[in-house]
Amino acid sequence: MRFSQQMLVAYTAAALLVPLVATADQLPKRGSYSGVFGWYVNAGETVPVSKDHVVWGGFSNGSFRNDTGGGFLHAAIVKCSFAGQWKADTGARNGGDCVAIDRDGDQLTFVWKCTDCDAGKGEFQTTDGTGKYAGIKGRGTFVQTNAGPPDRPVVTGFSTWKGEWELP
């Protein structure tokens, strides 16, 4: 009788854990997504070189909300570096690296750059990941909207993301 009770407890525990493991590890081999990355600059600096040249850099933090309200990277914490410069004769260029950390603690890394910095448009490339994202590759686009008055330094904003990924 005791052995059968132990087996019942073991089977019950296993049955309860299976959905948790399947949910955490389940990710299709490929897909697409869209959503909003809300961010704030927590450390940044701008260095005026001359009246026609400015250099900047720093870090921003925020979170990503998938348009579906769940799924790929929904509610992930995102941390990004940024660096760039503006010159009167060539305009602005900007880029950096990001890490997105999802609810399971799995991480996704990507690089980003402006394609039209004045319009806040750019592209990103997914480079690697851990856990369910191991070996992931992908790419996407973003459109950045800065929040706050135009006469103040940019410290908050959001970016709409559209992307696709593929796992090995």
DSSP codes of every residue in 60-128: EEEEEEETTSSSTTTTEEEEEEEEEEEETTTEEEEEEEEEEE-TTS-EEEEEEEEEEGGGTEEEEEEEE
The C-alpha atoms of residue 71 and residue 115 are separated, in whole angstroms, by: 28
pLDDT tens profile 38-53: 999 987 889 999 999 9
Specify the pLDDT at position 118: 85
Give me the residue spans of the domains in the chain.
Answer: 33-166
- Ranges 53-57, 138-142, 148-152: which has the least confidence: 148-152
Instruction: Give Cβ neighbours of residue 108 (< 8 Å, ≥ 6 apart).
Output: 73, 76, 99, 100, 102, 126, 128, 129, 133, 136
Quickly state the pLDDT bin for 23 (edges 50, 70, 90): very low
* Cβ–Cβ under 8 Å, residues 88 and 68: no
Q: Using a cut of 0.85, tell me whether the model's pTM lies above it.
A: no
The dotted CATH code for 33-166 is 2.40.350.10
- DSSP-assigned letter for residue 149: -
* Cβ–Cβ under 8 Å, residues 166 and 138: yes
Mean of pLDDT over the chain: 85
Identify the CA nearest to 154 among candidates 54, 50, 36, 53: 54
Specify the pLDDT at position 25: 52
- Ranges 65-69, 99-103, 150-154: which has the least confidence: 150-154
Specify the pLDDT at position 147: 85
* Cβ–Cβ under 8 Å, residues 161 and 64: yes
